[in-house]
Amino acid sequence: MPRPVPVLAPVLPSTGAQTPVAADAVLLTAGFWHTRQELNTTRLLDHADSWIESMGWYDTFKAAAGLEPDRALQGKLFTDADVYKLLEAFAWEVAQRPDARREARLKELSALVAGAQDEDGYLNTFFGPQGRQSRYADLAEGHELYCAGHLFQAAVARLRAGVEDDLTRSAIAFADRICADFGSGGLTGADGHPEIEVGLMELYRATGTERYRDQARRFVEYRGHRSFDDHAIGHEYYLDDLPVREATVLRGHVVRAMYLTAGAIDLAVETGDSELLDALVAQWDNTWGRRTYLTGGMGSHHLGEAFGLDFELPPDRAYTETCGAVGAIMVAWRLLLATGESRFGDAVERLLYNMVATSPNAEGDRFFYVNPLLAREPGISVPDGVAPFRKDTLRANWFWVSCCPTNVVRLLSSLTGYLATTHDDALTLQQYFSGEVTTQLGDGRDVTVTVETDYPWDGTVTIQVLRGAGEWEIRLRIPQWAREATIEVAGATTPVEPGYASVRRPWAPGDVIRLHLPMAARLLRPDDRINATRGTVAVQRGPLVYCAESVVGAAEAVDLDRFRLDATRPPESVPATGPSDARETVLVHGELGPAEPDREWPYDDADAGADRTPDDGTPVAVQLKLVPYYSWSNRGPSTMRVWIPTADAPAPPTAD
Amino acid sequence: MPRPVPVLAPVLPSTGAQTPVAADAVLLTAGFWHTRQELNTTRLLDHADSWIESMGWYDTFKAAAGLEPDRALQGKLFTDADVYKLLEAFAWEVAQRPDARREARLKELSALVAGAQDEDGYLNTFFGPQGRQSRYADLAEGHELYCAGHLFQAAVARLRAGVEDDLTRSAIAFADRICADFGSGGLTGADGHPEIEVGLMELYRATGTERYRDQARRFVEYRGHRSFDDHAIGHEYYLDDLPVREATVLRGHVVRAMYLTAGAIDLAVETGDSELLDALVAQWDNTWGRRTYLTGGMGSHHLGEAFGLDFELPPDRAYTETCGAVGAIMVAWRLLLATGESRFGDAVERLLYNMVATSPNAEGDRFFYVNPLLAREPGISVPDGVAPFRKDTLRANWFWVSCCPTNVVRLLSSLTGYLATTHDDALTLQQYFSGEVTTQLGDGRDVTVTVETDYPWDGTVTIQVLRGAGEWEIRLRIPQWAREATIEVAGATTPVEPGYASVRRPWAPGDVIRLHLPMAARLLRPDDRINATRGTVAVQRGPLVYCAESVVGAAEAVDLDRFRLDATRPPESVPATGPSDARETVLVHGELGPAEPDREWPYDDADAGADRTPDDGTPVAVQLKLVPYYSWSNRGPSTMRVWIPTADAPAPPTAD
């Protein structure tokens, strides 16, 4: 395969139902994601850089290069990957928002990385010569090839900007080394933490070097034969319990599952393996329909950072780490490109608004790692300047294991690469934002459209054609939740169903489409099989999941344990007043009942209702103002609930 | 303090509201616990012995003694403790049920242990000379002093039988070594896993050596100052977040918390530290009232094997390892002896019938480790001969980490030491069983009573005085759940309230008391703050928690997800038919509704009820036969529910 023409896209399949519009072909000019992109550019990236520096994770490269590192505190097996993920973010960033300072820093850090590379191409700061552990000595736990995969993804970002530099040369040399070591007749094995698979596949796509694809296939196929040592949560921890092709649902470690799936999709697409692709689609569908929280978060097991069984989704024990959501976006976006089906775009939207947006605080100096849907207590605050060892804290500046922050910054730096697609003579807006898209359609036609919206606060999206004369198609994703959406073209308003709304007509510059998405807040109820959310409802407004938050010390703080929502009264959207990180709050009605009395033993005879009635007053009607889930704990430590008990929760049963 | 007279009791405080009746003063002759004691004597003990042998955990002692061990597979840091726990069980066993073969084996293994002891008294097979890790090099994780504590408990069992042997000499020499090393002016620190505290306290009680008590105090007081390295679940993992005296609830690793609390209670009792004792009582009460499952199991976090927050008790994520229950019995029994309050006897009963009894299978060759209250899937079966690395399986022959089986066997071997107490001229039956109690009351009076009952299947307990003329008191614990209990003495029947029923009269041999406990099955409802059990009820009959079990392949198997219990109809006790490991089952009424339809996304708009109604028929009235929780999975892999959704679970809310 000849070296492909560079296109600045995070995922670039050679075939599929949809072609991604490049990241630099989409410009954000205002609104929800523009704010977050700016936060990333102006704050998060430098924040990550300085934390990696102060944790000593750059110093491991100096040490591996035989230099004397500056700092005593050093990284762990996987911290090379955090460096690479930040370099990947820098690469996307400078390709779209040129910045001499950042370009210089990227060059400096790329040279640092290259300096640590062994003569023969091998590159890892914890394995190799100079007193380090032997190469490939601990594939199950060592994260060697995992780090390599992230190096390749960083290099791909550079290559897709048309740059060859220390970073891309290092990546290619290491990829060649790995192919030589693990290729036909070489070592067998795979990394306990997948990532090399997707890294090799994208490096194949960026360079045309077919042995990278073949090596990715070897790694994908190695898995699933119980070849790794046993693990406390079983072989599924490594996804080693079943071959990728035979599994029906994702399981084990969420991030590992997502990275492996992303690489396997790339492999299926590039090799035309439709059987494999079908298996991966089914795995996603079963996972999304049975193992995913309302926020799009995945993983109810803290032990092993793992998926639970089907419907094992207790809100308080949600692990749902941010990395899992970034991984799920990698997967859903690939499936969208491969199949062209809108449900994958719906998934990306849910994950962006309720998981990715939840990660950083508004000031851009703290991140969540674990994302519960029920906080009975105000949570664990982390002082400034501390990178906690535990992950289930409130937002912290950094974490001892920092995979989530670096995943968020690389996603935000490449975000515009996930918003629009083309095929034939159609442009599809997969997400809504204020900005501009300038791209070439599948038929070679150059088009430019502007998009104006206050989404997700307002449901109107105005698309204006600036360039692209003649007949072609504009398609808009109508989310599954959007019942009674309409589209307005040339004065005519048409109802549109969830899926894709298509407008094919001869366009003239200045022509406008207006999409109206229904933004009334809605009550949702959970599948009964979840059990842990029985008798509750949640609130969603547009793509945003809302939550009840009771901020410690706030005047309006209530005991959320005592609130019962009246599900017969519709929730109301209310513009936020005062300084706020959300434009719309949602008012729900209900009552504040008496607190459960404290008892010696928390389980009563069911007919002992009379003994149980507390005498501290009757329920009081109250309204509760819900805030978007992404904004929780931005006002200080708080208790929080996504799933709110309803007033028609079961009466005490009576048996005689 | 002079060396105390040996009394064969697992816990022997020098003061307190109640004095334990010795294990060999209580004889079981039939019934529920007699069956389990016999299973232990005839099967479990040998099973544990042969598994420890085959795992190579005895061989580590040979290796430490400089001998060539037989087997390649060896133990881990904590396996010395499993050897000691089995020796403790053997010691209780031979003191009550003489057996030359077992006595010889105990001597042989005691010599093996003594052979591994260093000249200066130090004893651990993973630390010390001969190429092992340096002593005390890793107190936080090394389990060195934890193992020592179990050695001391084993030695105490021998000393209380009046025996001095290799085991007791080794324990005393090691205790002296530890006191010298960690005593005033020596090393500071404590074991990450408490146990040495309770071991030293009982060794103090058994030997009168006051420095053991003083060293236990040092270890108890060392904790709580964040001196251990940080841990993924925080300092509470080691109970190092707050001094024992300042904490208000138990937290962190359940077993560590229980062992520490047991030792701290012993310390408080022996030093007259009522402030410390009050703090420990409050911690227990808050833990029992807010952090305990219906079975008495504790710990909703698999990560860190830890307590959750108050009311964080999802049934599916229950960790509730058997060791936690054994530890909770150690604590509750000590609090019962110290305070004389019946709620601690209630707790022991709940833990025995629903956690300890659940551990072994009826054949005596498999054990549970983790004990969930909801099994959506039939669980992970373990083949014969395999000791799994993971712990959340169905019952297995053995576990790679085998703390639970060895805890169960030592508890069953000493069980009769937890059943009755005395004070002044009163004998109190804390638990019900068929057998005989022969003891001396606090006033020096020798008494013998027989007890006859089919408890827990039948609620009548007949106590007959065989010996003990004159006026004295017989007290019977009336469980909190027993409403409308009566007591029948000399032809008069009197209602008795939960707590202790007392009969003081001049007794003549042959006099009889008849206690009638109400054994109707009852529906229980959970505290609303648990959330994860909202809209459900559970069934208890006497002390036994019942569960719905749907055995794979059984004719009566139903989809438990679809069953809704009609809580207006009382549950009915029904004698079990056919071969069964339970004498009474419980019939509940309800209906089997249609299955939830599978959907792309498991959260619907709340008013979308119509879309959701499946068309595969209307609900069918069914009866479900519940079995005791302890017996679940004895009939093969099954789905299982303790908390069963009720038919009056909330209707779909409607908002317009």
Are A569 and B655 inside 8 Å of each other by CB?
Answer: yes
pLDDT band at A656 (very low <50, low <70, confident <90, very high): very low
Give the pLDDT confidence of A195-214 residue by residue, as tens digits. 999 999 999 999 999 999 99
Q: Which of A230, A315, A567 lies at the smallest CB-CB distance from B606?
A: A567
Q: Residues of A with CB below 8 A from B649's CB?
A: 528, 534-535, 650
Token pair 């198609």 in the structure block, residue: A473
Give the pLDDT confidence of A373-413 residue by residue, as tens digits. 999 999 999 999 999 999 999 999 999 999 999 999 999 99
Q: Residues of A with CB below 8 A from B310's CB?
A: 376-377
For residue B655, give the chain A residue with the closest CA: A568
- E-strand ranges in B259-406 read 374-375
B559 touches chain A (CB under 8 A): no
Are B376 and A312 inside 8 Å of each other by CB?
Answer: yes
| Separation CA B354–CA B642 (nearest Å) | 12
> Of chain B residues 316-345, which have a CB less than 8 A from chain A?
316-317, 343
pLDDT of residue B655: 38
> Of chain B residues 595-634, which have a CB less than 8 A from chain A?
596, 598-607
Looking at the predicted structure, is the pLDDT value of residue A631 above 90?
A: yes
Are B528 and A596 inside 8 Å of each other by CB?
Answer: yes
Are A376 and B601 inside 8 Å of each other by CB?
Answer: no
Q: How close does chain B come to A535, measured CA to CA in Å?
A: 6
Percent of chain A exceeding pLDDT 90 equals 88
> Of chain B residues 461-480, which have a CB less than 8 A from chain A?
480
Residue-wise DSSP of B493-560: EEEE-SEEEEEEEEE-TT-EEEEE----EEEEEE-GGG-TTTTEEEEEETTEEEEEEEETT-TT---G
CA-closest candidate to residue B232, choices A304, A598, A410, A439: A304
pLDDT of residue A230: 81
A302 touches chain B (CB under 8 A): yes
- For B196, the token pair is 């040495």
pTM of the model: 0.96
Interface test with A, best of B354, B527, B540, B607 (most A CBs within 10 A): B527
pLDDT of residue A610: 44
Residue-wise DSSP of B98-148: --HHHHHHHHHHHHHHHHT--TTS---SSBSSTTSBPTTTTTTTS-HHHHH
**Residues with Cβ < 8 Å from B164, sequence gap 6 or more?**
B158
Q: Residues of B with CB below 8 A from A652's CB?
A: 525
pLDDT of residue B616: 57
Percent of chain A exceeding pLDDT 70 equals 96
Average pLDDT on A336-359 reads: 98
A571 touches chain B (CB under 8 A): yes
Are A601 and B480 inside 8 Å of each other by CB?
Answer: yes
Q: Alpha carbon A329 to chain centroid distance? A: 5
Give the pLDDT confidence of A144-159 residue by residue, as tens digits. 999 999 999 999 999 9
Q: Which of B374, B376, B646 lies at the smallest CB-CB distance from A653?
A: B646
Are A603 and B538 inside 8 Å of each other by CB?
Answer: yes
Interface test with A, best of B316, B480, B656 (most A CBs within 10 A): B316
| Separation CA A304–CA A238 (nearest Å) | 10
Q: In this structure, are residues A626 and A547 in contact, taking their beta carbons and an 8 Å threshold?
A: yes
Contacts of A552-559 spanning 24+ positions with Cβ under 8 A = A552/A378, A552/A636, A552/A637, A552/A638, A553/A636, A554/A635, A554/A636, A554/A638, A556/A625, A557/A638, A558/A592, A558/A622, A558/A624, A559/A592, A559/A595
| Separation CA B528–CA A562 (nearest Å) | 9
Average pLDDT on A566-592 reads: 92
Interface A-B: count of C-beta contacts within 8 A = 234
B288 touches chain A (CB under 8 A): yes
Token pair 């309720």 in the structure block, residue: A354
DSSP state of A596: P
Average pLDDT on A493-510 reads: 97
Q: Which of B303, B534, B652 lies at the smallest CB-CB distance from A302?
A: B303
Are B389 and A231 inside 8 Å of each other by CB?
Answer: yes
| Separation CA A545–CA A325 (nearest Å) | 15
pLDDT of residue A74: 72
Looking at the predicted structure, is the pLDDT value of residue A170 above 50?
A: yes
DSSP state of B5: P
pLDDT of residue A277: 98
Beta bridge partners of B586: B573, B626
**Residues with Cβ < 8 Å from A631, sequence gap 6 or more?**
A362, A580, A581, A582
Are B649 and A652 inside 8 Å of each other by CB?
Answer: no
Interface test with B, best of A305, A316, A483 (most B CBs within 10 A): A316
Q: How close does chain B come to A572, measured CA to CA in Å?
A: 11
pLDDT band at A611 (very low <50, low <70, confident <90, very high): very low
Q: How close does chain B come to A26, measured CA to CA in Å?
A: 30
pLDDT averaged per 10 residues in sequence order, chain B, 656 residues: 85 98 98 98 98 94 87 78 98 98 98 96 88 88 96 98 98 98 95 98 98 98 92 90 98 98 98 98 98 98 97 97 98 98 98 98 97 96 95 96 97 98 98 98 96 97 96 98 95 97 96 97 96 97 97 91 95 88 95 89 76 61 95 94 85 40
Q: In this structure, are residues B407 and B356 in contact, taking their beta carbons and an 8 Å threshold?
A: no
- For A80, the token pair is 């090379």
For residue A480, give the chain B residue with the closest CA: B601
Beta bridge partners of B326: none
Whole-number average pLDDT of chain A: 94
Is the pLDDT higher at A655 or at A304?
A304
pLDDT of residue B72: 60
A526 touches chain B (CB under 8 A): yes
Q: Residues of B with CB below 8 A from A235's CB?
A: none
Average pLDDT on A559-586 reads: 92
B374 touches chain A (CB under 8 A): yes
Give the pLDDT confidence of A89-100 residue by residue, as tens digits. 999 999 999 999
For residue B315, give the chain A residue with the closest CA: A532
Q: How close does chain A come to B304, measured CA to CA in Å?
A: 8
CA-closest candidate to residue B262, choices B148, B338, B208: B338
pLDDT band at A130 (very low <50, low <70, confident <90, very high): low
Q: Alpha carbon B317 to chain centroid distance? A: 19
- For A195, the token pair is 């990532």
Are A314 and B310 inside 8 Å of each other by CB?
Answer: no
pLDDT of residue A652: 41
A525 touches chain B (CB under 8 A): yes
| Separation CA B117–CA B249 (nearest Å) | 38
